[in-house]
Amino acid sequence: YNSFRCYRLFSAQILLSVYSFVPLEGVNTVIQRLNKYNIDTGLHYDRYLREVIDFLEKDQHFREKLHNTDMEDIKQGKLAKELDFVSHHVRTKLDELKRQEVNRLRTLIKAKQDLEGGNDIAVDHQALLKQFEYLNHMNPHTFEVEDLDRLIRSATKDLENYDKERHEEFKRYEMMKEHDRQEHLKTLDDDERKKEEEHYEEMKKKHADHPKVNHPGSQNQLKEVWEEADGLDPEDFDPKTFFNLHDTNGDGFFDEQELEALFTKELEKIYDPTNEEDDMVEMEEERLRMREHVMNEVDSNKDRLVSLDEFLVATKKKEFLEPDSWETLEQNQAYTDDEMREFEEHLAQQEQDLNQKAFDLQKQRDELERQQEQLNAQKMELQQVRNSTLLMEKGLLL
Ligand SMILES: [Ca+2]
Ligand SMILES: [Ca+2]
């Protein structure tokens, strides 16, 4: 219980940087996603974040402060300041974690530079480190109050943007898929191209042909889970029992992962990994859409968790009992024509840059070869001079 409350209070601090009016009981726990259930936040500094929290939790003083800090103090950022009082051992460990993290970032920067071929340019690491806002790069050796404050703020902000970025990534994935398809078509003759296009349309039709998908979070959808996954009698369907059954970690809330798990049955109606026409990347995008939709409808205090109360309120709404039909992913194109055009331009630009680079390299090679030839010629000239000198010395010339 203590540990759970710690996480909730800690995250109170986290969320307050964004919503300064959220009541304590409704406060989300970003950190809860990282706790003993070991869920990956997907942030690139996930490991660092997790390790910092783990070590702070080990410090009795800090843990107690988490437990006893009231709302006013959390609001004023006093929690981060409590870092000054944690034990020397924990501080030393945090310093070490930060040094490792800074080193990891430096390696990343170096690898990126190598990839871009900018070896000869002097790298201003300090300036590049600035882009990583979740730690204080000006002070790379010790973990200070500011580091904790920055970590809390960044994790909150980045997690909020995480879904948005996943949608963008998916869009790029779909555009790349279409690009590759068009490029492949260009390599075919008329007959082959026609056959390929027909096959494509056929697969599209086959993919769109699936049993009706229930509106996510509706009574019908949950009842199917109740009946097929839980093996219970639909006549006995009871929202509270359902909630407790699927609150897998038993913390009294549906988190994002627990919600997403509820949609597996629906997704299996549309996607089968053994079918050519079903793309599993698209399935994960559909899962994300479903989870976002239910969160939007049900999570009324916007803490990214569904409490039992919120759930029960939702089960009394009209949308739960008589929902609209759900529009699946394939019913709409993931990108607009404009976005596709922009994407193609971007690819063309990239290709042009690569060609330019190859051209420059070839030029450099030619230049080196020319210099080598010059050198060889000079060498030969020198040799000739030497030979003549030798002959002269022996009095054979003249
Ligand atoms: Ca839960
Ligand atoms: Ca909620």
* Contact indicator for 263, 293 with CB cutoff of 8 Å: no
- Distance (Å, whole) CA 199 – CA 276: 11
| Apex 172 CA angle, 169 and 173, nearest 5 | 85
CA 253 / ligand 2 centre spacing (Å):
8
CA 308 / ligand 2 centre spacing (Å):
9
CA 112 / ligand 2 centre spacing (Å):
40
Task: Annotate 273-302 with DSSP letters as a single string.
Answer: TT-TT--HHHHHHHHHHHHHHHHHHH-TT-
CA 82 / ligand 2 centre spacing (Å):
28
Q: Which residues contact 321 (CB under 8 A, 6 or more apart)?
A: 218, 219
CA 28 / ligand 2 centre spacing (Å):
8
CA 247 / ligand 2 centre spacing (Å):
14
CA 173 / ligand 1 centre spacing (Å):
32
In this prediction, residue 343 carries a pLDDT of 96
CA 169 / ligand 1 centre spacing (Å):
28
- Distance (Å, whole) CA 83 – CA 79: 7
Ligand nearest to the CA of 245: 1
Question: For the segment 161-177, what is each residue's pLDDT rounded down to a tens digit?
Answer: 888 888 999 999 999 99
Residue of 390 and 363 predicted with greater confidence: 363
CA 258 / ligand 1 centre spacing (Å):
6
Q: Which residues contact 56 (CB under 8 A, 6 or more apart)?
A: 62, 63, 83, 86, 90, 94
Ligand nearest to the CA of 22: 2
Q: What is the pLDDT of the chain when averaged over all its residues?
A: 83
- Distance (Å, whole) CA 342 – CA 345: 5
- Distance (Å, whole) CA 283 – CA 345: 28
Q: Which of left, alpha, beta for 137 (phi over 0: left; psi -120 to 50: alpha)?
A: alpha
- Distance (Å, whole) CA 280 – CA 284: 6
CA 247 / ligand 1 centre spacing (Å):
4
In this prediction, residue 72 carries a pLDDT of 53
Residue of 197 and 304 predicted with greater confidence: 197
CA 235 / ligand 1 centre spacing (Å):
25
Ligand nearest to the CA of 314: 2
| Proportion of the chain above pLDDT 70, given as a percent | 84
CA 314 / ligand 2 centre spacing (Å):
12
Ligand nearest to the CA of 246: 1
Q: Residue 241 above 70 pLDDT?
A: yes
CA 117 / ligand 2 centre spacing (Å):
48
CA 237 / ligand 1 centre spacing (Å):
20
In this prediction, residue 1 carries a pLDDT of 33
pLDDT confidence tier of residue 151, bands split at 50, 70 and 90 = confident
pLDDT confidence tier of residue 30, bands split at 50, 70 and 90 = very low
Q: Which domains does the chain have, with CATH numbers?
A: 1-187 (no CATH), 211-334 (1.10.238.10)
CA 254 / ligand 2 centre spacing (Å):
9
What mean pLDDT do residues 223-235 have?
95
Which pair of structure tokens corresponds to residue 137? 């790069």
Per-residue DSSP letter, 226: I
Q: Residue 23 above 60 pLDDT?
A: no
Cα distances from 210 to residues 87, 88, 249, 266, 327, in angstroms, run 60, 61, 33, 10, 13
Q: Residue 34 above 60 pLDDT?
A: no
pLDDT confidence tier of residue 86, bands split at 50, 70 and 90 = confident
Ligand nearest to the CA of 35: 1
CA 278 / ligand 1 centre spacing (Å):
31
CA 252 / ligand 1 centre spacing (Å):
6
Q: Percentage helix, strand, coil, to 5, in the chain? A: 70, 0, 30
Burial per residue of 91-104, b for 16 or more beta-carbon CB atoms within 10 angstroms, e otherwise? bebbeebbeebbee
Ligand nearest to the CA of 255: 1
Determine whether 152 is exposed, middle or buried from the number of CB atoms within 10 Å of its CB (0-12, 13-18, 19+). Answer: buried
Phi, psi dihedral angles at 254 (to 5 degrees) = -90, 120
In this prediction, residue 74 carries a pLDDT of 54
Which pair of structure tokens corresponds to residue 376? 């060889």
**Under DSSP, is residue 243 helix (H, G, I), strand (E, B) or coil?**
helix
Residue of 182 and 153 predicted with greater confidence: 182
Q: Residue 300 above 80 pLDDT?
A: yes
Pairing assessment for the beta strands 253-254 and 306-307 based on DSSP bridges: antiparallel
